[in-house]
């Protein structure tokens, strides 16, 4: 392929992807506003009209901010690639680092820092304007900055050694570098599943053992019935940052933890909490987590193999506004370019991931209905939709691209039919 041909291909996919995302966002906004005036019949007895309208307004505000983010992201992408931003950055760093691995590492770090800085205004607006307007923000500016600094430090401590290993493999391990890099990456992902709950997450949030004895006994009874062993039940101080609530598993193997947001526990009844946990246990017992990990590993292997081919092709660089160095490594540049353009070429496949994810959600719901009263899960879901201002009327096509969970009405009807 020629560099001009690849440039044209990139521009065509860029325009199609951006256009599709704008069109989906517009559909979503119109659909939500069209159903704003009344609560869907199946939810009318439980969801007040004011809550439904708040969810609609919140959804529309987030989607409109998403459109602004799309526009800004498109400008940044073109600026880094076709307009020569990455080339200028590489040229500026070269006199300081010289060619080689150090230059490639510096390039990746500089790109990451610049990208983060360019995203800061929208991140700030999202947290302190949009979330604040709808009553969800509990974070102070100081905590926001502290989280950002800690995140950067943790990323540097973990990411820099990993990046050095990957770049060294790309440069020195031959044509099959991508296979060895995949082994390192997969091992790193598994290690993070073990370390995250006990080492990384406590740097940002406080985790305390569940103190409610009756609720703990109820949950332990459920875990015994389904054959699940956990390292503990913990409550996370999610209210320090947001009014949104959730529950999740963390860890891997014998290091599994169950974590509840304090905001969730304050809102749901004990039987509803049990039903929500039964859904999460369903993901584990039905091996959804293992299946997702396997898919993630398979995809990463395929993408690394593709990168192994692309990094040797001059048109891949020149077609994206970069002049590769002929007598030195271009591996860091290849990583950046690949990460930038991959979403442009793969966005159209997003519904395939949603189909699989939604199938798992239906199966986990059925598991929960088998081990608890399905009405408790329905009640909990309705409360969570209301508390998180999640719209009950998303545009179906938009939802198929962006939502890993089925729309509320589909999920609740599926639960009721499964239990009938």
Residues sharing a CB contact under 8 Å with residue 147, sequence separation 6 or more, in sequence order: 139, 204
CA distance 54 to 48: 10
Residues sharing a CB contact under 8 Å with residue 385, sequence separation 6 or more, in sequence order: 47, 55, 392, 408
Question: What pLDDT was estimated at residue 116?
Answer: 93
Question: What pLDDT was estimated at residue 252?
Answer: 64
Residue 401 CA, chain-centre distance (Å), reads 14
Under 8 Å between Cβ of 361 and 405: yes
Under 8 Å between Cβ of 391 and 32: yes
CA 55-61-62 angle, to 5 degrees, is 90
Question: What pLDDT was estimated at residue 420?
Answer: 62
pLDDT means per 10 residues in the chain (420 residues)?
A: 92 96 97 95 90 95 97 96 96 91 94 95 95 91 92 92 94 92 94 85 87 88 84 83 76 72 85 90 89 94 96 94 88 96 94 92 92 90 87 93 89 79
CA distance 280 to 24: 30
Question: What pLDDT was estimated at residue 185?
Answer: 95
CA distance 113 to 249: 31
CA distance 332 to 45: 56
Catalytic residues: 280, 365
């Amino acid at each position: 392929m020629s560099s001009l041909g690849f440039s044209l291909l990139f521009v065509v996919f860029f325009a199609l992807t951006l256009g599709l995302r704008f069109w989906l966002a517009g559909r979503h906004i119109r659909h939500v506003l069209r159903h704003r005036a009344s609560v869907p019949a199946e939810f009318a007895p439980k969801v007040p009209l004011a809550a439904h309208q708040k969810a609609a307004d919140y959804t529309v505000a987030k989607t409109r901010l998403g459109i602004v983010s799309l526009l800004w992201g498109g400008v940044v992408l073109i600026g880094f690639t076709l307009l020569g931003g990455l080339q200028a950055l590489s040229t500026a760093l070269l006199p300081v680092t010289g060619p080689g691995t150090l230059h490639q590492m510096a390039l990746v770090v500089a790109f990451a820092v610049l990208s983060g800085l360019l995203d800061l205004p929208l991140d700030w607006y999202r947290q302190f304007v949009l979330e604040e307007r709808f009553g969800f923000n509990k974070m102070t500016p100081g905590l926001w900055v502290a989280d950002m600094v800690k995140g950067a430090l943790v990323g540097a401590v973990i990411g820099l050694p990993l990046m050095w290993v990957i770049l060294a493999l790309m440069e020195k391990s031959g044509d099959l570098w991508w296979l060895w890099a995949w082994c390192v990456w997969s091992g790193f992902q598994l290690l993070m599943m073990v370390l995250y709950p006990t080492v990384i997450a406590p740097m940002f949030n406080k985790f305390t053992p569940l103190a409610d004895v009756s609720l703990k006994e109820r949950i332990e009874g459920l875990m015994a019935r389904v054959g699940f062993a956990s390292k503990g039940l913990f409550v996370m101080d999610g209210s320090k940052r947001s009014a949104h609530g959730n529950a999740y598993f963390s860890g891997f193997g014998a290091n599994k933890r169950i974590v509840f947001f304090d905001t969730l526990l304050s809102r749901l009844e004990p039987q509803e909490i049990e039903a929500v946990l039964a859904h999460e246990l369903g993901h584990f017992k039905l091996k959804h987590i293992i299946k997702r990990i396997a898919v993630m590993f398979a995809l990463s292997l395929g993408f690394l193999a593709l990168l192994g081919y692309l990094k040797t092709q001059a048109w891949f660089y020149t077609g994206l506004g970069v002049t590769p160095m002929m007598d030195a490594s271009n591996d860091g540049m290849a990583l950046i370019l690949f990460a930038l353009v991959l979403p442009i070429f793969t966005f159209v496949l997003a519904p395939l991931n949603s189909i699989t994810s939604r199938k798992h959600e239906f199966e986990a719901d059925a598991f929960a209905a088998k081990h608890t009263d399905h009405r408790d899960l329905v009640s909990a879901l309705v409360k969570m939709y209301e508390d998180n201002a999640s719209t009950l009327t998303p545009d179906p096509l938009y939802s198929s691209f962006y939502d890993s969970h089925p729309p509320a009405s589909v999920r609740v009807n599926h639960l009721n039919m499964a239990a009938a």
